[in-house]
Structure formats: structure tokens, C-alpha cells
A and B are shown apart, each in its own frame.
Chain A
Amino acid sequence: MTTAASFLDVQGLSKSFGAEKVLEDATFRLAERQTLSVLGRSGCGKTTLLKLLAGLHEPDGGSILRRGADITRVPVERRDVVYLYQEPLLFPHLSVFDNVAFGLRLRHVEADRVQKDVTHMLESLDLLDQGDKAPHQLSGGQRQRVSFGRALIVSPSLLLLDEPFSSLDAETRTQMQVLFKRVAALYAITAIFVTHDLKEALIVGDAMATIRSGRLTAYGSKQAFVDDPESGVGSEVDFWESLKGGRYGNDQPV
């Protein structure tokens, strides 16, 4: 893993809703241009973590530092952190092109530039011929790609993804994981990627963390994660190994 000075430094982040502690004392670091995979079941506090980082919730305690500057109380719209929902949430009244251009137009970027940047973005997402379509005309995978493009084009300092592929079929999902890796590298993105899929977490992440009932565990390296019996990698490997050994094969008497 990288030893560069950490880009994002989260210390003791906590949040309760009423009596329920949804997130307790979350602490981790993330280097620039890296993707942190956060693995956890639904309802474990993953979404709350992301919303705290995005500024959509206020934390009860703890701090968020970006390049050493405290951004814990910076309002959402000036935080430069984009949060992507599970659903692509494309604006239904705008075309694909206008959806991607949305953030640039908010910033009053001149029209020529918008045209150039959006075209370039659509190209890198294999959506070049889809620009004029309405969101409802796209497939699930295409919609999710447009949602990426809309977020990436404003070059956020941090991209937060909340189980973005969970509603896609297995094949599209695999394609999207590869595409995400490629685009994240291309646009030099720092990201936190939340998922409940072990394999997806390992494919997409450069660094690993897990959340169980509000408690976040960050791993020093991917290997440390794989070696931890709690991570579930071990039992997964055992299962596939056992297939090789023929324990579930046809020669097994029933």
C-alpha cells in the first residue's frame, strides 16, 4: 500500500438517530487516487458514513480532514464531495447529455467547454451515441454510467458510491466494475465504494474496510484483509478449493 501522506483523514466519526448509535467512532485514512472498499451488510451504517462524509448529515462527534484541512462543517454544496445513490437518479426531464452537463452548467461553464467536456466524458463511458436519449430509454447499466459521468465531470475531490451496482444483473455488474477501475484511473479519482459483495469489494478497492453494526475496521493492506478470518475471504477460498477437491463433484455419492 501507499505510504504517501493521507489525502483523507477521518477521526472518531459518530452518529446516532435518537437512541440508536448508527455509527461509532469511525477512524480511517485514504491516500489520493485510491479507492477504499467498505464491506458491510445493509443497515450496518454504511450509508450513514457516506452521508456524513458528503455533509448530508451532521456528525455527533469526530472530524473529517482533507489534505489536513477540517471540512467537517463545510456545507454540502461547497464540500466538493459527490455522493452517488444506489439508484442512478437521473433527472427524468433532462436528456443524457444534459444530465452529464448538469454540474458544469451550475458552475456557469461556457457552452463550448460544456460541449467538449461532456462529449469527452460520454466517449470514455461508451455512451457517445446515447447523448440525445431520455433516461428511461437506457438500460440499467447505461443509466449507472450516466450517473458516473454526471458526478465525475465536476472533478470532485472525493467520490462516494453507495452500492451503485446492486440493482444490476451479474454480467453487467462485472463490466461495470472493470469500467469503474478504468475511469477512476483515467480521471484520477479518490473514492469510497460501499458494497455488500466480497468479490466486488476486492476487485474495486485499493484499500479495504468493513463495517459491522456501526463499527468500522480499516485494514492496513489488502493482504491484511484477506488474512483476517473475520473478512470471510478464507471460507470463500475454502469453498472453491473444496470444489477442486471433488467434495461437491458428481462422484460424490448422495
Chain B
Amino acid sequence: MLATVVAGLSVLPFLVLALLSVAGPWEFPDLLPTRLRFDRWTAVLSGDSALAPCLGLSLLVSTIVALLATSAGFVTARAVADHPRRRLLMLLAYLPFAASPVILGVCLLYVYIRLGLVATVAGVVLSHTIFAYAFAVVFWVPFWNPEKLAYEDLVRTLGGTRGHAYRHVILPLSKEPVLVCFLQTFLISWFQYGLTLLVGGGKVDTLPLRVYAYVGEANLGYAAVASSLLLLPPLVLSWLNRRVIGRLA
């Protein structure tokens, strides 16, 4: 009984969102829309809608952020895990991750202005990367446990270089966490609204910005379409995540 209720409540938001995205007129106090319309979706799929370029831009920004954050976090965590002041470094790594992005963004905006990065895609990517990277560092530090460091030493006493250790042992062992970290950092960027608004100055129109713009125009149907697009990668990725990890495990 309880399980059914919980399952129902877990699925319900997605159903409401899907319905809202195809709802025609839906006046108070109707519980269901009087008519369904699919033109919003066909417009997006055919690329006619203003949403299509936003989708592309969001994909581009999040992919770059995920690539940068995952690789930089991997390298930094190796240095942090082996460092005598590890505790202090970890505390520092948590800061941007725990601080409100908007508030840190406000404080840093001066730097973005001076670097000419405000209202540019590069500026938005950088601002997202700072947060995604902090997450990636925190994510990768446990990966570099004594065993991994011992593998590195072991390969070298067997006559291999550090490069060999990475190519033949460390990288093959990190395939799965690389994937997970990539997905997580992708989503950190993908959902980001406040920083994009602040640093992008409203000029870098990603999907979350579109959602708010539509809500502002009282256009809930389009807000629901944009929201559905926003949900697509996390759902696909979490499914993929389970599948890939299930297979690797």
C-alpha cells in the first residue's frame, strides 16, 4: 500500500509535466485539458521553435564543462590525495560546492567583467566549471586510495614508467568513475540557472533560462516543453548509468 503510494507520487510529477506540455485550453476548474495539442513538440523537433537553439547551446556548454571538470578534477584529486595538507585542501574544495552559486557569482562578477567574459559562452562555461570542478575534486579524491597509489608504485618497481602505470592500470580502472563523474558534472552545468543568468547577462540563453522566461510570460505549456527537454538527459543518463555500471560490475 505505502509502496504503491510512494511509487505513484514518484511518477505523478512526470505525468503532469508531460500532460502540461501537450495541453490545449485548460481552464479552472477542469481537471484535464479540454483538448490536446502537439504543435509545441513538432515545432521543437523540426527546429522551428526558439527552443531548438537553446537545446543545442545547453548541450554544448554542459559537455564542455563536464569534459573540463572531469579531467581537471582527476588530476587535482591525485595531487590532493597524496598531499600532507589534504584536510585543508578538501575543506577548500567543498567551499564553492557548498556556497550558493548565485552569491559566489555576484562576488566574482567583477573578475568576469574585467576579463571581458560577461555575456559570453566562455564566461558561462568558466562559471559552471568552477562549481563542477569542485565537485569533481571531491568525487575523485576517494578514488586515489592507497591501493591505487600502490598500483602506481608496483608498476614502476616492475620496470614500467609512470606513463605505463596510467595507460595499462590506472586508466582502465577508472573507466566507470570517469563516466559517473562526467554525467554528474554534466548535470551540474545542465541545471544551472542563477550563474548563467548572472554571468551570461541574459544573452546566453540556455534551457533553464527559457523555462523561467516562459513562466514569466505565463506560458506554462512551453515552460513544460522546456522542462521536459531539461529532464531528458538526466533520465537517459541515469538509465544508462545503471545499465553501464550494472554491466561493468
List chain A positions with a Cβ less than 8 A from chain B.
54-56, 76-83, 85, 87, 89, 91-93, 102-103, 106-107, 150-151, 154
List chain B positions with a Cβ less than 8 A from chain A.
147, 150-151, 153-161, 164, 168-169, 172-173
**Chain A residues whose CB sits within 8 angstroms of the CB of B169 once the complex forms:** 91, 93
Closest to B160 in A: A106
CA distance A76 to B159 in the complex (A): 7
A-B contact count (CB 8 A): 56
CB-based contact A93/B172 at 8 Å = yes
Most chain B CB within 10 A, of A54, A77, A151, is at A77
CA distance A78 to B158 in the complex (A): 9
**Chain B residues whose CB sits within 8 angstroms of the CB of A56 once the complex forms:** 153, 156-157
CB distance from B100 to the nearest CB of A (A): 39
Q: Report whether over half of chain A's contact residues are helix, strand or loop; otherwise say mixed.
A: mixed
Q: Which 6 A-B pairs have the closest CB atoms?
A: A76-B156, A103-B158, A83-B157, A106-B160, A77-B156, A93-B172
Contact among A91, A93, A107 for B159, CB-based, below 8 A: A107
CB-based contact A92/B157 at 8 Å = no
CB-based contact A82/B147 at 8 Å = no
CA distance A89 to B151 in the complex (A): 7
CB distance from B166 to the nearest CB of A (A): 13
CB-based contact B168/A85 at 8 Å = no
CB distance from B108 to the nearest CB of A (A): 37
**Chain A residues whose CB sits within 8 angstroms of the CB of B151 once the complex forms:** 89, 91
CB distance from A183 to the nearest CB of B (A): 17
A-B contacts, 7 of them at CB < 8 A, read A77-B160, A80-B159, A83-B157, A102-B168, A106-B155, A106-B158, A154-B158
**Chain B residues whose CB sits within 8 angstroms of the CB of A85 once the complex forms:** 150, 154
Whether A82 touches B168, Cβ cut-off 8 Å, given contacts A89-B150, A92-B173, is no
CA distance A1 to B168 in the complex (A): 43
Whether A76 touches B164, Cβ cut-off 8 Å, given contacts A89-B147, A92-B173, A93-B172, is no
CA distance A242 to B155 in the complex (A): 49
**Chain A residues whose CB sits within 8 angstroms of the CB of B154 once the complex forms:** 83, 85, 89
